[in-house]
């Protein structure tokens, strides 16, 4: 009977087997249900799949390919480009602008209608280009699966496209291969696989073929190889248990496609604000029309008055201002190593309340570093960071030379010689060619004054036993070319090496008694600090020995010591985390690494919720998370700061749980396993250097330096952008309110309109571009990172700002309407009086602009000329307003008229009054 394994909801768990009604061509029955391929012997998996070590027959492989499809992710239906374009118009503010276009077209003001329509189209085009394509991450996943595979079919080895693999195929793996499908390993030789993109494990994982417990988490399944992971060492043979959508990668693809993309805080707030504004405008226009007609005015005149009111109350420049302000923020962030893929993400950073950060490479350097050493019964420390060999070996805080400590020198020598990696330097700094753990040993020797390359020449290698997962050690045989005995150096796990040791090396290099209890105490201290500890030993042989085997080193070894290493925190990340905590942002670590390592790094960074280093940081692992209810998960997600050994869907659940508590969540990641959570988060942050293409496609922001400090810098810029947006809205709305009130006052008073619709459009469009948009260039105010994040539940404008908007709107009403009537009473024509009223609005906006440079401080505390763009805008606006007033062609277009010099005195006085009143209001509102 033919069988295929289907993925269930749990990672890598095969839930059922679909069977046909006959035996396979190989004659093997396949009716036995299989729960978890990692939990049963490989022979059972082979039998269940109707396969053998000789592989499938070509005919059976073809039949299975026909039945189960190619080894590729199923593409989902895309949203068409036209639909995505049309959806850009589905915004309340765009509806208001489109209504403005219609109204101005009805008024046959074709220039104004064209200008407003142009604003709509520009906003729509920008949104269309910047919008995330929902299936980009899926397409990137599919591209990662386009590889070849070496398979055994009918007993012969063949190279085929990976897309042709089927369940039951026997696949061969070697160093450098990308695993083409999910495999249950059957045979291995020193096989190590880099699974960091899938699990978050920071170092390659040694593989074996031994069955695991059924509930073993994905990252700990050492008898499995998963699609798209990378073979870094050794060889292996495995049977395909899942292809295409049935792989772990396919399950993540499904998570990405099903993850809901939330609207940003700014989008949600502006949508609510726009809806309310729309209702207010319609209500004011309806009231104007109703009151006027009840007073006996003609329907047509009242309709035109209502149109004028609507045009005045609509903030035509707001969508463009939002887009341009965000775009300016994008440029600022790019200069601070943060590339924004979606414009609204700029502001989202300023509202972030929780940052869920990956550990490896983001909070840490992604460079293993030896920090603690034990040799001759003495403890030593190594300073310096990463692969840079500059640094020293310390004892009691003082630098020491390895030549003064024979036991230490021998320990470091063992680390150099029992080593297959190389320390190299490029224009971008030092790097390791080979295993990161071995690289750390080379760097430690350099810090002690040893020259690894010279030592390897002086001690030529004659033979080696490579590292194997079942033995957990590596051994090398060396000779110095003298009559002395040949020596074997061994490095490996403490558990495997210590029982083989008979003696230890004393402080002066002499044989000493082996005290296992003391060694285990030191080991406990190192592991408590999250260090990965390697043990080192040696044994001498006669000069005629030129090869070694496992039996040679079963016993009689001399214990040399321990070296403890860790991927250390970035110093700048520590500072950035504390800055985020000071800004009221909670930082949490979500990693696929081991709980002990995660807790140690969290402690060093200060992830205890208070910005202070603690001795022990509570950690919860993926196995514990899997057993929590939704309510328990929300509580745990809120109260816990470190999550280790978590699966992709658990990262997604954690993000969702935090969002359900009203948080704005930023999520960082670099692997395929991070993509679903990156997509669901309010802002997904991917690593630009080490990140996979899948992660980058799913994210809103990409860090070009993979550094957490860049996130903190981006948060700071985001807050600045949000501040400037609020400043613009606070500045522009009083004008719209004042214009609407002026129209209503004229209708209620039964007098001529002080400003015409075309003049309203002139005010709104020119001042928005030349005055209001200059606030987007306003520098960040001091203390921006010492205040809590914006509450996402609060409206975009506070009660205090609404009161200020109302106050300034009333002052503009009083000034413009009052001077309009004053001019008429002093013999001015309607055109001259309206020109004065228009200039009152522009001058009032100009003075109020300086108030809005800070919503709480005086402009003098910011520096009068600190925003050169604003000064330039004021100068140009002043020139345009003089043209509006005195240029004959402008008089014809906008029905304006020249006014005498004396008329400017009350105009400027109104502006000065507005500036003074708002300044007093700010002073009174101070805490």
* Run of H or E including 460: none
- 482: burial class by Cβ within 10 Å (0-12, 13-18, 19+)? exposed
Enter the DSSP assignment of 775.
Answer: G
Written as six digits, the tokens of 169 are 């195929």
CA distance 772 to 25: 77
Taking residue 6's Cβ as centre, other Cβ atoms within 10 Å add up to 16
Taking the alpha carbons of 19, 24, 29, 33 in that order, is the dihedral positive or negative?
Answer: negative
The residue annotated as part of the active site, out of 358, 567, 682, 700, is 358
Taking the alpha carbons of 644, 649, 650, 656 in that order, is the dihedral positive or negative?
Answer: positive
The CA-atom distances, in angstroms, between 481 and each of 413, 440, 545, 833 are 17, 28, 13, 106
* Run of H or E including 202: none
CB 373 within 8 A of CB 408: yes
SS3 state of residue 184: strand
Taking residue 511's Cβ as centre, other Cβ atoms within 10 Å add up to 11
The CA-atom distances, in angstroms, between 847 and each of 120, 351, 766, 866, 878 are 29, 30, 15, 17, 12
Please name which of 569, 859, 549 lies closest in space to residue 727, comparing C-alpha atoms. Answer: 859
Please name which of 852, 695, 864 lies closest in space to residue 772, comparing C-alpha atoms. Answer: 852
To the nearest 10 degrees (0 to 180), the angle between helices 648-660 and 630-639 is: 80
Strand partners, 486: 541
Among this protein's residues, is 358 annotated catalytic?
Answer: yes
Residues 6+ apart with CB under 8 A from 96: 274, 277, 278, 281, 314, 315
Radius of gyration of the chain (CA): 36
CA distance 382 to 372: 6
Enter the DSSP assignment of 790.
Answer: P
Please name which of 708, 665, 701 lies closest in space to residue 338, comparing C-alpha atoms. Answer: 701
How far is Cα of residue 808 from the mean position of the Cα atoms in its chain?
A: 41
The CA-atom distances, in angstroms, between 34 and each of 68, 69, 325, 711 are 18, 21, 58, 45
Q: Which residues of 777-816 are buried (b: 16+ CB within 10 A; e: fewer)?
A: bbeebeebbeeebbebeeebbeeebeebbeebbebbbbbb
**3-class secondary structure per residue, 496-532:** HHHHHEEEEECCCCCEEECCHHHHHHHHHHHHHCCCE
Written as six digits, the tokens of 368 are 């293993």
Taking the alpha carbons of 58, 64, 66, 68 in that order, is the dihedral positive or negative?
Answer: negative
Q: What are phi and psi of 132, to 5 degrees?
A: -70, 135
Written as six digits, the tokens of 561 are 């010591």
CB 255 within 8 A of CB 224: no
Please name which of 196, 175, 178, 206 lies closest in space to residue 474, comparing C-alpha atoms. Answer: 206
CA distance 575 to 606: 10
Q: Would you name the residues annotated as active-site residues? A: 358
């Amino acid at each position: 009977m033919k069988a295929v394994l289907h993925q269930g909801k749990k990672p890598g768990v095969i839930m059922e087997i679909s069977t046909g009604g006959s035996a396979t061509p190989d004659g093997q029955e396949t009716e036995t249900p299989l729960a978890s391929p990692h939990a049963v012997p490989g022979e059972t998996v082979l039998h269940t799949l109707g396969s053998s070590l000789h592989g499938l027959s070509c005919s059976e492989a073809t039949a299975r390919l026909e039945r189960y499809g190619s080894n590729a992710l199923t593409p989902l239906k895309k949203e068409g480009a036209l639909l995505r374009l049309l959806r850009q118009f589905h915004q309340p503010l765009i509806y208001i602008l489109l209504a403005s276009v219609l109204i101005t077209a009805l008024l046959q003001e074709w220039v104004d209608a064209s200008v407003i329509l142009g604003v709509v189209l520009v906003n729509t085009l920008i949104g269309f280009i910047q919008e995330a394509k929902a299936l980009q991450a899926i397409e990137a996943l599919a591209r990662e699966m386009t590889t070849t595979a070496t398979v055994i079919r009918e007993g012969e080895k063949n190279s085929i496209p990976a897309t042709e693999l089927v369940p039951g195929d026997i696949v061969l793996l070697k160093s450098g291969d990308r695993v083409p499908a999910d495999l249950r390993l059957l045979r291995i030789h020193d096989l190590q696989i880099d699974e960091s993109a899938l699990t978050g494990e920071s170092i390659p994982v040694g593989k074996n073929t031994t069955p695991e417990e059924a509930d073993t988490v994905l990252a700990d399944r050492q008898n499995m190889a998963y699609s798209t992971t990378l073979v870094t060492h050794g060889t292996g043979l495995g049977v395909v248990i899942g292809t295409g959508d049935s792989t772990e990668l396919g399950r993540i693809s499904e998570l990405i496609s099903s993850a809901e993309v939330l609207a940003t805080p700014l989008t949600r707030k502006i949508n609510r604000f726009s809806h309310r504004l729309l209702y207010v405008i319609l209500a004011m226009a309806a009231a104007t029309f109703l009151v006027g007609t009840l007073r006996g005015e003609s329907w047509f005149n009242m309709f035109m008055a209502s149109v004028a009111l609507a045009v005045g109350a609509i903030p035509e420049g707001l969508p463009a201002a939002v887009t341009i302000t965000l775009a300016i923020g994008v440029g600022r962030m790019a200069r601070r190593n943060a590339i924004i893929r979606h414009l609204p993400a700029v502001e989202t950073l300023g509202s972030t309340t929780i940052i869920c950060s990956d550990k490896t490479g983001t909070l840490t350097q992604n460079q293993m570093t030896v920090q603690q050493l034990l040799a001759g019964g003495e403890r030593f420390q190594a300073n310096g960071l990463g692969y840079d060999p500059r640094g020293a070996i310390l004892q009691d805080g003082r630098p020491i030379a390895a030549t003064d400590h024979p036991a230490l020198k021998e320990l470091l020598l063992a680390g150099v010689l029992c080593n297959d990696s190389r320390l190299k330097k490029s224009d971008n700094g030092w790097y390791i060619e080979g295993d990161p753990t071995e690289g750390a040993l080379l760097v430690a020797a350099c810090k002690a004054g040893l020259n690894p390359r010279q030592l390897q020449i002086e001690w030529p290698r004659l033979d080696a036993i490579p590292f194997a997962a079942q033995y957990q050690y590596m051994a090398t045989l060396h000779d110095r070319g003298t009559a002395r005995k040949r020596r074997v150096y061994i490095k490996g796990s403490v558990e495997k090496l210590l029982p083989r040791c008979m003696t230890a090396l004393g402080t002066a290099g002499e044989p000493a008694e082996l005290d296992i209890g003391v060694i285990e105490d030191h080991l406990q201290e190192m592991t408590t600090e999250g260090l990965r500890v390697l043990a080192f030993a040696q044994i001498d042989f006669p000069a005629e020995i030129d090869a070694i085997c496992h039996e040679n080193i079963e016993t009689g070894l001399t214990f040399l010591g321990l070296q403890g290493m860790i991927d250390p925190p970035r110093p700048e990340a520590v500072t950035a985390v504390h800055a985020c905590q000071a800004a009221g942002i909670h930082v949490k670590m979500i990693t696929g690494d081991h709980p002990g390592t995660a807790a140690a790094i969290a402690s060093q960074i200060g992830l205890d919720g208070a910005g202070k280093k603690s001795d022990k940081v509570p950690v919860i692992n993926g196995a514990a998370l899997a057993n929590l209810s939704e309510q328990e998960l929300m509580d745990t997600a809120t109260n816990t700061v470190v999550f280790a050994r978590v699966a992709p869907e658990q990262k997604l659940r954690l993000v969702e749980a935090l969002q359900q508590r009203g948080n704005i969540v930023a999520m960082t990641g670099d692997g395929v396993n991070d993509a679903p959570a990156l997509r669901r988060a309010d802002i997904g942050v991917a690593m630009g250097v080490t990140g996979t293409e899948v992660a980058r496609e799913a994210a809103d922001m990409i860090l070009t330096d993979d550094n957490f400090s860049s996130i903190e810098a981006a948060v700071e810029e985001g807050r600045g952008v949000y501040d400037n947006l609020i400043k613009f809205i606070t500045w522009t709305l009083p004008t719209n309110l004042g214009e609407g009130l002026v129209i209503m006052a004229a209708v209620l008073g039964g007098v001529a309109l002080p400003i015409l619709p075309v003049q309203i459009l002139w005010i709104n469009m020119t001042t928005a571009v030349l005055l209001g948009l200059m606030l987007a260039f306003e520098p960040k105010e001091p203390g921006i990172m010492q205040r809590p994040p914006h509450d996402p539940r609060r409206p975009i404008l506070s009660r205090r700002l609404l009161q200020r908007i109302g106050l300034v709107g009333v002052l503009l009403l009083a000034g413009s309407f009052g001077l309009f009537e004053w001019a008429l009473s002093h013999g001015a024509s309607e055109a001259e009086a309206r020109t004065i009223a228009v200039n009152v609005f522009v001058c009032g906006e100009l003075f109020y602009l300086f108030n809005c440079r800070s919503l709480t401080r005086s402009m003098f505390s910011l520096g009068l000329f600190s925003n050169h763009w604003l000064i330039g805008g004021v100068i140009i606006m002043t020139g345009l307003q003089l043209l509006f007033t005195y240029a004959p062609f402008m008089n014809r277009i906008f029905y304006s008229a020249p006014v005498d010099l004396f008329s400017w005195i009350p105009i400027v006085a109104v502006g000065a009054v507005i500036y003074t009143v708002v300044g007093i209001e700010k002073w009174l509102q101070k805490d």
